[in-house]
Amino acid sequence: MDLSQQILQYVLSGLSTGAIYALIGLGFAIIYNSTGIINFAQGEFVMLGGMLSFFFLTTLKLPLFASIPLAVFTSTAAGIAFERLAIRPLKNATPMSLVIITIGASIFIRGLAMLLWGKDTHALPSFSGNDPISVAGATILPQHIWIFAITLLVIIANKLFFYYTISGKAMRACAFNRRAASLVGIDVKRMVLFSFVISSALGSMAGIIIAPLTMTAYDVGIMLGLKGFCAAIIGGMSSGVGTVIGGLVLGTLESLGAGLISSGYKDAIAFIILLLLLFVRPQGLFKKGETERV
């Protein structure tokens, strides 16, 4: 394999990984735009998606096509419980208090998962086999196609929901001005709940579709969550195209850096990119107005 084929291989792998970061980043952005909260428990919903799918598949002996929606539903229920029990009771809380609450929830969920499923790593079976597909001299697995397809469907569904449904428009109104939204009759608390429902579902789906490639364990949500947060920051905290582009850029640069420099720097590269961006363009790749339009 020559250098051009190697670079193509790294780009394809990076785009697949970046799509996962984009899904996680969308969860961060949706909650932030609706509530102003940075939900550092988002990575744990990624972990729950993978671990619950494995639990339903191996312990309850359910087929994969039934385990996946059940895992998403259970993770979403956990997101609802988190909002109702930890976020909603807090009135006039400072942003720092809310951040600490989400970090505490992350530690709690991770510890509970360790007690329930132990510290072993697990893998889900691929959705449609493991025979590699050749693309211009590079190869990708069928699971990568699933990742691209599901990410594309999520982006389309996200666009349709926020621009063509009453609830989506209400959530956008809350993101723009919560007080004005409440004055025109929008139930802000319900919109906040919807944001946690959507973000936990997105996170769990990301954890499910990547588990056949990277395996899952009780602690996988930490790094995936941080990289999803980086994607959201790079994209200007947009709940649309901005964060998707941020995730794809991050995944691609991370893969190229790991392949061409050293795999030992893979995790560091993501945070170096974030720091450089914060120094050069703190608002992300998109300005505030651009972020709201996309």
pTM, entire model? 0.90
Angstrom CA distances, 280 to 187, 232, 273, stand at: 38, 16, 11
pLDDT of 270 > 70? The answer is yes
Domains belonging to the chain, first-starting first, are 12-277 (1.10.3470)
Is residue 20 a contact partner of residue 247, using CB atoms and an 8 Å limit?
yes
Question: Which amino acid type is present at position 217?
Answer: A
The two three-digit tokens of residue 259, written as one number: 């392949």
pLDDT of 291 > 60? The answer is no
The two three-digit tokens of residue 3, written as one number: 């250098």
Strands (E), 50-154: 133-135, 138-140
CA-nearest of 243, 188, 193, 238 to 19 is 243
Q: Which pLDDT band, with edges at 50, 70 and 90, does 290 fall under?
A: very low
pLDDT of residue 281: 75
Question: Which carries the bigger pLDDT value, residue 204 or residue 294?
Answer: 204
The arithmetic mean of pLDDT across residues 33-42, rounded, is 85
pLDDT of residue 239: 65
The arithmetic mean of pLDDT across residues 83-108, rounded, is 85
**For 144-157, how does the pLDDT look when each residue is reduced to its tens digit (9 = 90+)?**
999 999 999 998 99
Q: Using N-to-C axis directions, what is the helix angle for 142-164 and 188-214, rounded to 10°?
A: 170
Q: Using N-to-C axis directions, what is the helix angle for 188-214 and 221-234, rounded to 10°?
A: 120
The arithmetic mean of pLDDT across residues 17-28, rounded, is 92
Is residue 127 a contact partner of residue 61, using CB atoms and an 8 Å limit?
no
**For 186-231, how does the pLDDT look when each residue is reduced to its tens digit (9 = 90+)?**
888 888 899 999 999 999 999 999 999 888 999 999 999 989 998 8
191 Cβ contact partners less than 8 Å away, ≥ 6 residues apart: 34, 167, 170, 171, 174, 181
CA-nearest of 199, 201, 191 to 76 is 201
- CA dist., res. 261 & res. 202, Å (int): 32
Q: Which pLDDT band, with edges at 50, 70 and 90, does 1 fall under?
A: low
pLDDT of 294 > 50? The answer is no
- Chain mean pLDDT for the chain: 86
The arithmetic mean of pLDDT across residues 243-268, rounded, is 83
Buried/exposed code over 268-289 (b: 16+ C-beta within 10 A; e: otherwise): ebbeebbeebeeeeeebbbeee
The two three-digit tokens of residue 216, written as one number: 């899952």
pLDDT of residue 112: 94
pLDDT of 31 > 80? The answer is yes
- CA dist., res. 158 & res. 239, Å (int): 8
pLDDT of residue 209: 93
Angstrom CA distances, 6 to 139, 191, 248, 253, stand at: 10, 46, 18, 14
Q: Which long-range contacts (CB under 8 A, 24 or more apart) does 288-292 make?
A: 288/236, 290/236, 290/242, 291/235, 291/236, 291/237, 291/238, 291/240, 291/242, 292/176, 292/238
The arithmetic mean of pLDDT across residues 62-87, rounded, is 92
pLDDT of residue 6: 84
Question: Which carries the bigger pLDDT value, residue 156 or residue 286?
Answer: 156
- CA dist., res. 230 & res. 214, Å (int): 20
What is residue 122's three-state secondary structure?
strand
pLDDT of 127 > 80? The answer is yes
pLDDT of 279 > 60? The answer is yes
Question: Which carries the bigger pLDDT value, residue 125 or residue 280?
Answer: 125
